[in-house]
Amino acid sequence: MASCIAVDAMGGDDAPDAVVMGAIQAVRHAERETTILLIGPHDALRAVLDRHPEAPTEAFHIVDAPDVIGMAESPSTAVKQKPESSIHQGLAAHHDEKADAFVSAGNTGAIMGAAMFILGRIPGVKRPSIAGFFPNLKGSSVVMDIGSNVDCKPEHLVQFARMGTIYARQALDNEDPTVGLLNIGEEPGKGNELVKEAYDRLQEVADIHFAGNVEGGDLLHYAADIIICDGFVGNALLKFGESMSPVLDKMMKREMERQSLNADQQAVLTNVLAEVRRHFDPVSLGGAPLLGVSGNVLIGHGSSSPDVIEQMIHTATSIASRDLVSSLESAFQSEVA
């Protein structure tokens, strides 16, 4: 079955070149026939494609979007003042069923705001949430929320748990994912009022496998398949995880120099560290899904390389083919007032 993915060609620090290159790689390596809608200023994107005569041009269609929302722009202002942006036009193409999903490494706040406006929330969902990933000794855990909702109520955390569970079942092939509530202790009754009330509510939810409270010190070992927290805590956790790879690299180099290791010894340790760092590499994660909107939206880091963009497109294709949105709609039907 063929798929079509709308790609924000202007999203990211190295756009449009890195995005276009990633899209070319994705088409080459796709397991199914894939068409890419490149969204952005027509002439600029045409010039980039012309620099890649080897690209399968029949797989690419440029959708002109003259406005560009910068990474540092105010999301609320940009969403209102730039309706012809690549983010708007890409989401509109998905809304109009011209594309099966939308992928962007652009301004996260603008993507979320525009997605809420153009695609809308799934009925019953109070707060759409960006799902991130945190590595552990078993692979990785889904973390919700990672920054899109910094102030939450207990019912929001419960909905994050339900959305994360459905995502794990549909997209990650985990039939019985466990859910852990990030807290300062494992015992019931620990934490602030938000997590204490969320704990009580999560125990009563029938369609999730609640494993109780989990502590920060257990995350890298493996605490649960899905970790629930408010976006303030989740974003701090995400940024900490992102910092580990470059810091470990610097620590390793400094220690190798201190111990005066020879070139062969350094090469061995560098190779080992490279494998460890791979678990923190966004290439293997394929972007962060925005769950709770009526569409398939993947958000990438602003520094996304062509390899990351490629993996995001593959992930978007997979999610779209599994009809995740319909599963979320069915699960939240009972919460529609």
Considering 212, 228, 245, which residue would you say is the last residue of a domain? 245
Q: Is pLDDT above 90 for 67?
A: yes
Range of the structural domain that residue 172 is part of? 130-245
Q: In angstroms, rounded to a whole number, what is the distance separating the alpha carbons of residues 270 and 192?
A: 42
Q: What is the pLDDT of residue 73?
A: 86
- Is 251 part of a structural domain of the chain? no
CATH code assigned at 184: 3.40.718.10
Question: pLDDT > 70: what percent of the chain?
Answer: 98
pLDDT given for residue 244 in this prediction: 83
**269 found inside a domain:** no
Dist. CA 85–CA 3, nearest whole Å: 23
Whole-number pLDDT of residue 282: 56
pTM, entire model: 0.91
Residues 141 and 111 reside in one and the same domain: no
Are 118 and 8 in a shared domain? Answer: yes
Q: Is residue 80 located within the same domain as residue 147? A: no
57 within some domain? yes
The yes-or-no verdict on residue 62 having pLDDT over 60 is yes
Considering the domain architecture, whether residues 85 and 8 belong to the same structural domain is answered as yes
Within this chain, do residues 178 and 240 fall inside the same structural domain, yes or no?
yes
Does residue 120 share a domain with residue 154? no
* Residue 63 pLDDT class (50, 70, 90 cuts): very high
Find the range with the poorest average confidence among 17-21, 157-161, 275-279: 275-279
Q: Would residue 8 count as lying in a domain?
A: yes
pLDDT category at 15 given cuts 50, 70, 90 is: very high
Q: Determine, yes or no, domain membership for 134.
A: yes
How far apart are alpha carbons 107 and 153 in whole angstroms? 25
Which of 276 and 214 is assigned the larger pLDDT?
Answer: 214
Same domain, 240 and 322: no
Domains identified in the chain, total number: 2
Residues 136 and 238 in one domain: yes
**pLDDT averaged over every residue in the chain:** 92
Domain boundary pick from 228, 245, 262:
245
In a shared domain, residues 40 and 112: yes
Distance CA 110, CA 77 (A): 9
* Residue 250 falls inside a structural domain: no
In contact, 8 and 105? CB cutoff 8 Å:
yes
Q: Is residue 199 part of a domain?
A: yes
Domain boundary among 211, 245, 279: 245
Q: Are residues 10 and 82 in the same domain?
A: yes
Report pLDDT digits (tens) over 125-150.
999 999 999 989 988 899 999 988 99
Question: d(Cα 289, Cα 103) in Å, to the nearest integer?
Answer: 9
Write out pLDDT tens, residues 255-314.
999 999 999 999 999 988 888 877 776 555 678 999 999 999 999 988 889 999 999 999
* 155 and 227 within one domain: yes
**3 state SS for 314-329:** HHHHHHHHCCHHHHHH
Within-domain flag for 76: yes
Percent of the chain with pLDDT strictly greater than 90: 77
Q: What is the pLDDT of residue 285?
A: 64
Q: Are residues 22 and 97 in the same domain?
A: yes
